[in-house]
Structure 1
Amino acid sequence: MQRVPADPIDLLRTRTSAKWRGYPEDVLPLPVAEMDYPLAEPIADALHRAIDRSDTGYAFGSTGIAEAFAPFAAARLGWEVDPARVTATGDVSMGIVEILRVAVSPGDGVIVTPPIYPPFFDLVTEAGAAVVEVPMLGGIDEGWSLDLDGIDAAFAAGARGILLCNPHNPLGHVPSRETLSALAEIAERHGAIVVADEVHGALVQPGVAYTPFLTVSDAAREAGVAVTAASKAFNLAGLKAALIVTGSDRGDALRAKLPYEVSYRMSQFGAIASIAAFEHGAQWLDGVLASLDDSRRLLADLIADELPGVRYRLPDATYLAWLDLAALGWGDDPAAVALERARVALGHGVQFGASVGRGHARLNFACSPEVLSEAITRLSDAAALTDR
Structure 2
Amino acid sequence: MTSIPQDIPGEPNPLRALSLDRLRRRTSMKWRTYPEDVLPLWVAEMDTPVAEPVVRAVTEAMERGDTGYPHGTGYAEALAAFAGKRWDWDGLAAERTALVPDVMLGVVEALKLVTGPGDPVIVSPPVYPPFHPFVTHLGRRVVEAPLGADLRLDLAGLEETFRQAVAAGGRAAYLLCSPHNPVGTVHTEEELTALAVLAERYGVRVVADEAHAPVVARGVRFVPYLSVPGAERGLSLMSASKAWHLAGLKAALLVAGAGAAADLARMPEEAGHGASHVAVLAHTAALRDGTAWLDALLAGLDDNRRLLAELVAERLPGVRHRPAPGTFLAWLDCRALGLGGDPAAAFLERGRVALMSGADFGTGGAGHVRLNFATSPQVLTEGVRRMAAALT
* Residue 380 (structure 1) aligned with residue 388 (structure 2): yes
**1:6 Cα shift?**
4.0
Aligned residue pairs, count: 375
- Describe how 1:1-388 pairs up with structure 2 within 5 A: 2=10, 3-4=13-14, 5-61=16-72, 63-80=73-90, 81-138=92-149, 143-159=150-166, 160-217=172-229, 219-222=230-233, 224-249=234-259, 251-353=260-362, 355-384=363-392
**1:144 Cα shift?**
2.2
- Whole-angstrom distance in 2 between the partners of 1:45 and 1:165: 32
Check the 8 A contact 1:203/1:233 in 2, yes or no. yes
> What is the DSSP-based 3-state SS (H/G/I as helix, E as strand, rest coil) of the residue aligned with 2:312?
helix
- What is the letter of the counterpart of residue 141 of structure 2? A
Check the 8 A contact 1:203/1:317 in 2, yes or no. yes
**1:176 Cα shift?**
1.2
| Structure with the higher fraction of residues in helix conformation | 1
- What is the letter of the counterpart of residue 237 of structure 1? A
Check the 8 A contact 2:357/2:368 in 1, yes or no. yes
- Whole-angstrom distance in 2 between the partners of 1:158 and 1:111: 8
**1:209 Cα shift?**
2.2
**1:37 Cα shift?**
0.9
**1:193 Cα shift?**
0.5
- Whole-angstrom distance in 2 between the partners of 1:335 and 1:155: 33
- Whole-angstrom distance in 2 between the partners of 1:77 and 1:120: 26
Poorly superposed stretches of 4+, deviation over 4 Å: none
- What is the letter of the counterpart of residue 365 of structure 1? F
- Whole-angstrom distance in 2 between the partners of 1:134 and 1:215: 23
Deviations 1:137-192 (A, max 9, x none): 02xxxx32211122111221125111101100001101111111111011011111
Check the 8 A contact 1:239/1:267 in 2, yes or no. yes
- What is the letter of the counterpart of residue 214 of structure 1? L
In structure 1, runs of 5+ residues without a counterpart are none
Check the 8 A contact 2:319/2:336 in 1, yes or no. yes
> What is the DSSP-based 3-state SS (H/G/I as helix, E as strand, rest coil) of the residue aligned with 2:44?
coil
- Whole-angstrom distance in 2 between the partners of 1:302 and 1:342: 16
Check the 8 A contact 1:101/1:128 in 2, yes or no. no
- Whole-angstrom distance in 2 between the partners of 1:154 and 1:105: 18
Check the 8 A contact 2:218/2:302 in 1, yes or no. no
> What is the DSSP-based 3-state SS (H/G/I as helix, E as strand, rest coil) of the residue aligned with 2:67?
coil
**1:123 Cα shift?**
1.9
- Whole-angstrom distance in 1 between the partners of 2:18 and 2:267: 40
Deviations 1:204-240 (A, max 9, x none): 11111221101111x1112x10111000000101100
RMSD over aligned CA atoms reads 1.1
**1:68 Cα shift?**
1.4
- What is the letter of the counterpart of residue 200 of structure 1? H
TM-score by length of 1: 0.95
> What is the DSSP-based 3-state SS (H/G/I as helix, E as strand, rest coil) of the residue aligned with 1:196?
strand
Deviations 1:11-50 (A, max 9, x none): 1111111111111100011110010011000000111111
- What is the letter of the counterpart of residue 167 of structure 1? P
- Whole-angstrom distance in 1 between the partners of 2:257 and 2:164: 27
**1:95 Cα shift?**
0.6
**1:327 Cα shift?**
2.2
- Whole-angstrom distance in 2 between the partners of 1:148 and 1:272: 39
> What is the DSSP-based 3-state SS (H/G/I as helix, E as strand, rest coil) of the residue aligned with 2:151?
strand
CA gap of 1:368–1:210, structure 2 versus 1, over 3 A, is: same
Partner of 2:169: none
